[in-house]
């Protein structure tokens, strides 16, 4: 933490641009950024497909799929906020980003990252009510309730990230402007300050607690409750059926939180190569959004059935259009 001197005794300096260091002295680094472009393409196709399926299939217009729709939307926007801009910067070897663009990028990256965590908590709420209180599920988990929950989560996310960005603007960057990360990351940016950055340091811990630790703790407690409820189901077939409804969510939770936990533990226990840290961090932020729609498509029976119905509908419409064209020509 940097607290060299009070801000009133220093000349306030706001740099015109930051230099994003990215991967240093790594051979074939461009292939890595090309790989990220491929990841982004799959992410866009997969999440757009899920969003389109939920929008078109009336059977998916339920409270649960409001949260799934929001997860796909935040995955799509989160990847769009980080991959195209920074991959283009590194591939074109123009790694300078204007000060205002850096803060704007930081805002969007962290808002969508925060919403990804919160949306997993909203999906957990759906599962715990469905299994622990099945008879009251439709009375508790309504579309209005889920919309309200998601709306509050968006407000909290925007507020938390806005406070972090506002605290960055009070910093004086009078030394190095090199950000030791692959994007305008909060920690590497505020550590460049010459004046007191303790509020930024404190806010980073608040963010970790509210955005990652608190949702993960609630999810863990929820699955303890789900485990207890499942143990009370006498029929094994019913127990397995109920467990299957949780598999997609559990996979999403594991893919999102486990890499983040491993990065934090590794960073505080061992000295790892900066390039290794950057690669692990960027994969943590980009791979789950790519895999989430695949998991929901393959692991959720409702989505699979809706896709089949939509496919049949498109096939019938296409056949009818062809018949109309043939009749018109005759």
pLDDT digits (tens, 9 = 90+) for 222-241: 999 998 988 887 677 777 87
Q: Residues 5-45: pLDDT tens digits?
A: 444 444 678 889 999 988 777 777 788 888 899 999 999 99
How confident is the model over 98-103, as a mean pLDDT? Answer: 93
In whole angstroms, what is the distance from residue 198 CA to residue 88 CA?
A: 33
Higher-confidence residue: 53 or 2? 53
Stretch (H or E) spanning 20: strand 17-20
Instruction: For residue 330, name the pLDDT band (cuts at 50, 70, 90).
Output: low
Longest dimension (CA), the chain: 88
Side-by-side strand order, sheet with 17-20: 96-98, 17-20, 178-179
Separation between Cα atoms, residue 291 and residue 297, nearest integer Å: 10
Q: Which pLDDT does position 3 carry in this prediction?
A: 42
Phi, psi of 20 (to 5 degrees): -85, 110
| CA-angle at 29, arms to 37 and 193, nearest 5° | 95
Indicate if the pLDDT at residue 4 is higher than 70: no
- What is the b/e burial string over 58-97, where b = at least 16 CB atoms within 10 angstroms of the residue's CB? eebebbbbbbbbbbbbbbbbbbbbbbebbbebbeeeebeb
Model confidence at 2: pLDDT above 50 = no
**145-159, 166-180, 263-277, range with the lowest pLDDT:** 263-277
- Strand 17-20 to 96-98 pairing: antiparallel
Q: What average pLDDT is seen over the chain?
A: 86
pLDDT of 69 = 94
Least confident of 60-64, 70-74, 194-198: 194-198
CA–CA distance, 156 with 41 (Å, rounded to integer): 30
C-alpha 118/C-alpha 150 separation (Å) is 8
- The pLDDT of residue 261 is above 80: yes
pLDDT at 162: 95
Record: fold of 7-299: Rhopdopsin 7-helix transmembrane proteins (1.20.1070)
């Amino acid at each position: 933490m940097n607290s060299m001197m009070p801000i009133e005794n220093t000349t306030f300096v706001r740099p015109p641009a930051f230099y994003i260091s990215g991967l240093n002295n790594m051979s074939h680094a461009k292939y890595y950024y090309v790989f990220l472009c491929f990841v982004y393409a799959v992410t866009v196709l997969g999440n757009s497909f899920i969003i389109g399926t939920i929008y078109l299939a009336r059977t998916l217009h339920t409270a649960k799929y409001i949260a799934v729709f929001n997860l796909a939307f935040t995955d799509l926007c989160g990847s769009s906020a980080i991959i195209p801009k920074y991959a283009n910067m590194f591939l074109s070897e123009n790694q300078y980003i204007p000060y205002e663009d850096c803060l704007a990028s930081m805002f969007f990256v962290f808002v969508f990252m925060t919403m990804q965590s919160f949306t997993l908590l909203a999906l957990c709420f759906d599962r715990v009510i469905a299994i622990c209180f099945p008879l009251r599920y439709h009375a508790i988990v309504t579309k209005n309730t889920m919309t309200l929950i998601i709306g509050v989560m968006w407000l909290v996310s925007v507020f938390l990230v806005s406070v972090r960005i506002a605290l960055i603007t009070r910093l004086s960057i009078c030394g190095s402007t090199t950000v030791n990360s692959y994007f305008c990351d909060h920690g590497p940016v505020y550590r460049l300050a010459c004046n007191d950055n303790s509020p930024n340091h404190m806010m980073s811990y608040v963010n970790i607690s509210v955005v990652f630790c608190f949702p993960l703790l609630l999810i863990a407690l929820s699955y303890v409750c789900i485990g207890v409820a499942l143990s009370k189901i006498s029929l094994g077939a019913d127990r397995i059926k109920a467990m299957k409804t949780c598999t997609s969510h559990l996979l999403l939770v594991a893919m999102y939180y486990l890499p983040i936990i491993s990065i934090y533990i590794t960073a505080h226990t061992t000295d790892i190569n900066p390039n290794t840290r950057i690669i692990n961090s960027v994969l943590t932020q980009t791979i789950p959004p790519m895999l989430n729609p695949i998991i929901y498509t393959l692991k959720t029976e409702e989505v699979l059935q809706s896709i089949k119905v939509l496919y049949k509908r498109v096939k019938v419409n296409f056949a009818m259009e062809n018949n109309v064209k043939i009749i018109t020509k005759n």
